[in-house]
A and B are shown apart, each in its own frame.
Chain A
């Protein structure tokens, strides 16, 4: 019985390879050489120590958002509003950075706390809307757009740099407000430590806590969870706020280490990307950092690809998107076998068709 197990392992790779193949075809159609393109992406992601650290710096906020989503998905919530929670975190951190001037450790702690509070608040708002009958997908989506509009308003209004807003961002924060970076990269050890801490926290919450069990009950079957005494209102709000706080932390790291100020597209879709990461990781905790790192490499690679080949940088999003879609559809061999046997039995008995 070793052969089926071995085959099943191999099968998970098939959609991934198919995604690479499809993206290659797309490249050929646009007159680019896939080999050159993928090697440019590889160089862009891992070509030098600085590049690698930049990839890691991109990975950290993505990982934090994905970790938060593991918790909200566990409660059965489609927290599409994570993009807005990420942005609110960036705004919260910027607010402290622009209005206070304290010694660095205190300043940064306050920035991070403000960011987490802002993200949690924005998420709780989506949770409240859900309680009032608005599905979290629609509530979250509206809140995402409002968060982008709020950013633009702050940049072009109250936080406009004194010399005028040609830059489409606030003035750079003062040095004590920013995270210490390694060399000339955007990588910060503090950010990495925070991400490690968050991973431990999510591990504890999901694996070893009563709260994790309550969320699981709620996510699996809300009706029987209520019979067990799980308050769906409270747990929904808490799970959303937890996820929002982690996303907010990601947003803070984005302004405090990746950039040095609040910018127009501060997130650039990291929240949506985190949703894709979690779907591809099939909501498994230990797969999440790996998949997130793969996404981060593809995206930082595709920026270099754009510089070298003039091709639109959305190629990276296409590669990851096709991969997630194919894995979602065809990643599970048992599901496919069930489907195939259904198709065959439907053919054998043409009288009962549907």
Chain B
């Protein structure tokens, strides 16, 4: 969309070629300045080489960073264990950008290709948001409400626990464990998540609890 060029009043400020306000945000008299013919701004303003404000069009001046006015939430990159700091920009309950956090003493604002792509990870078109269920010997996925899935999983855990419970070994030593359930977790989980897992599994008697660290 191209805006109609309209010549505004030739003020001192317009001749200086400066853009009032900061960060490209359009405020105040911008319209009138950019309405001025670029060559006039170049000739009469602060930017005689036309490398900056004199060359800027009305449309460009109108652009704002997508992070403009966004709330910054402090985060950490989810990929490798360098632990780069991330600034997550949120507007209207939506993440609009993820950038390196310059405050981090480890990463000093940098991110690698993976860290830089973490917004695409969150927004990936392949991400799914509903539970899917495949019944034994089934040939297709079925829908299953989350509540129902949670109930079914709790039942499966208790059933397998009952069926595979080992109270003692052959020599009469205490085992008190359930050998029919195993767990393999990634190592991009939070400490708090790992803690609840280990706590719950241990109480259930599940000992085959493992994660990526071993692999």
Chain B associates with chain A: no
